[in-house]
Chains A and B, each alone.
Chain A
Amino acid sequence: MLLTSVLLILQETLEAALLISILAVLSLQNGYRMLWLIPGFMVGMVMALLYAENMETVSGWFEYVGQELTNASLQTAIALVLLPLAWMLGKAFEIGEKVSRDARTPRKSSWGVLCAMAVALAVTREGSEILVFLQGFLGQSDQARPVAIGSAIGFGIGLSVGLLLFYAQLPLRGPLTRWIPLVLLALYGGNMMSQATLHLIQADWLQSGPALWDSSAWLPEQSVTGRLLYALVGYESSPSAVQAVSYAVGTLAVVGAALAGRKYA
């Protein structure tokens, strides 16, 4: 149960940790303050608690596909919130090139609100699964200890990976390399759209075609690399065409919003 808890909590923490690290780097690079982090996280935890408490009710909605529809909505909402953020980044980049480093961009509260929303939505989605697991197994006298220890280790590793990602992106301030966090944000948007599509297929609201490719032989999803890539860029070893298309749309939409923001700065 110890190892199960470590892997489970780590996997769920990674995705949110990645988003927070990207948004934190982008905030610092473009002169925005980081006031969004704690409120976003707290709101997310409250919403996750509500979702976890009502998981059974939500699952029963729409002939037992309520969970899929809720998750797809949360993920689509994250992808949509990333668009105005990318637009503002495009603007900030353009202004940053013209004016001096100190007076780059005005501090806008809308940036903070959007970041807080994205974090809250991501924490709701990932946190609810963690809470369902903890609520279910912490109450079991024989498993409480390994579950508690395993979860703490998993959360600790997830947090460390998040910090590592943050510090890895922080020096990216050159004319070309500073676009890297934005590209990561775009891939995150694609990942959200692809996962939302998968939930709709699972709910039978969308039809799935045959798998577009199958790379499970050389990079299985259940391998450590596969799991890491799944959390970071939404790696699937056998995605359907509709999933691949939604990934591309989600990614290109963020890039497009940034380019549009840059053009109309």
Chain B
Amino acid sequence: MRGTQMMINGMRSGPRHSISTRLWSGLLLTIATKTLLAATPIIEIEIRDHLFIPSQVEIPADTKVKLVVKNLDPTPEEFESYELNREKVISGNSKAVIFIGPLPPGEYPFFGEFNPKTAQGKVVVN
């Protein structure tokens, strides 16, 4: 009881803000945080000579990421990953956007279904 009284006194001794000011600042802070979080990180991968470059990309856990895959080969490729549950055809000399995540930490291999022997890569989430 005495502790509580001390805490109240302590709060009163600090700078005074009305409840509405606190609510507003809290709300603005929330919006600002959400806006920052909404800026989805972009990771670029190239396909050259049926290889993914880079073949390993690292992304943060529990975050949605926009993969931009540029196919620089004249032949088409299909980005495929069982672990990421993703599949997308990418025409020759064109680019594709694939959203992945939010994901728990771990390794998520992907491959090019049209050239599975060479086109191999993985997303490392940490």
A residues whose Cβ falls under 8 Å from a Cβ of B: 4, 8, 55-56, 59-60, 63-65, 67-68, 129, 132-133, 135-137, 140, 198, 201-204, 208, 210, 216, 220-222, 236-240
Q: How far is the CB of B91 from chain A (nearest CB, A)?
A: 4
A204, B98: Cα distance in complex, Å: 8
Kindly state whether residue B41 has any CB partner on chain A within 8 Å. no
Kindly state whether residue B126 has any CB partner on chain A within 8 Å. no
Report the nearest A residue to B93, measured CB to CB.
A56
Q: Which residues of B contact A59 (CB under 8 A)?
A: 89-91, 94, 96
Kindly identify which residue among B76, B85, B95, B115 contacts A132, using a CB–CB cutoff of 8 Å: B76
Kindly identify which residue among B76, B95, B104 contacts A64, using a CB–CB cutoff of 8 Å: B95
Kindly state whether residue B86 has any CB partner on chain A within 8 Å. yes
Q: Which residues of A contact B66 (CB under 8 A)?
A: 204
Q: Is the CB of A202 within 8 A of B88?
A: yes
**A56, A208, A239, most chain B CB atoms within 10 A:** A56
Kindly identify which residue among A129, A198, A220 contacts B78, using a CB–CB cutoff of 8 Å: A129
Sample of 22 A–B contacts (CB below 8 Å)? A8-B113, A55-B76, A56-B91, A60-B94, A64-B96, A64-B97, A65-B97, A67-B88, A132-B91, A133-B76, A133-B78, A136-B114, A202-B88, A203-B99, A204-B40, A204-B64, A204-B66, A208-B102, A210-B104, A220-B82, A222-B82, A238-B85
Q: Which residues of B contact A238 (CB under 8 A)?
A: 83, 85
Total A-B pairs in contact (CB under 8 Å)? 69
Q: Which residues of A contact B86 (CB under 8 A)?
A: 202
Q: Is the CB of A4 within 8 A of B115?
A: yes
A137, B82: Cα distance in complex, Å: 24
Q: Is the CB of B88 within 8 A of A68?
A: yes
A55, B91: Cα distance in complex, Å: 7
Interface size class of B (residues with CB under 8 A): 20 to 34
Kindly state whether residue B92 has any CB partner on chain A within 8 Å. yes
Q: Which residues of B contact A220 (CB under 8 A)?
A: 82
Q: Is the CB of A237 within 8 A of B89?
A: no
Kindly state whether residue B75 has any CB partner on chain A within 8 Å. yes
A204, B76: Cα distance in complex, Å: 23
Q: Is the CB of A216 within 8 A of B88?
A: no
Report the nearest B residue to A237, measured CB to CB.
B82
Q: Which residues of B contact A133 (CB under 8 A)?
A: 76, 78, 114
4 extra A-B contacts, CB within 8 A, seeds A8-B114, A63-B97: A136-B75, A202-B86, A202-B87, A237-B82
A222, B116: Cα distance in complex, Å: 12
Q: How far is the CB of A79 from chain B (nearest CB, A)?
A: 19
Q: Which residues of B contact A240 (CB under 8 A)?
A: 85
Q: Which 4 A-B pairs have the closest CB atoms?
A: A64-B97, A136-B76, A56-B91, A221-B82
Q: How far is the CB of A231 from chain B (nearest CB, A)?
A: 13
**A64, A137, A140, A198, most chain B CB atoms within 10 A:** A64
Q: Is the CB of B114 within 8 A of A137?
A: yes
Q: How far is the CB of A22 from chain B (nearest CB, A)?
A: 24
Q: Is the CB of B82 within 8 A of A4?
A: no
Q: Which residues of B contact A204 (CB under 8 A)?
A: 40, 64, 66, 99
Q: Is the CB of B89 within 8 A of A55?
A: yes
Q: Which residues of B contact A129 (CB under 8 A)?
A: 78, 89
Known: A132-B76, A202-B99. Contact between A216 and B82, CB under 8 A? yes
A180, B64: Cα distance in complex, Å: 41
A216, B83: Cα distance in complex, Å: 8
Q: Which residues of B contact A64 (CB under 8 A)?
A: 95-97
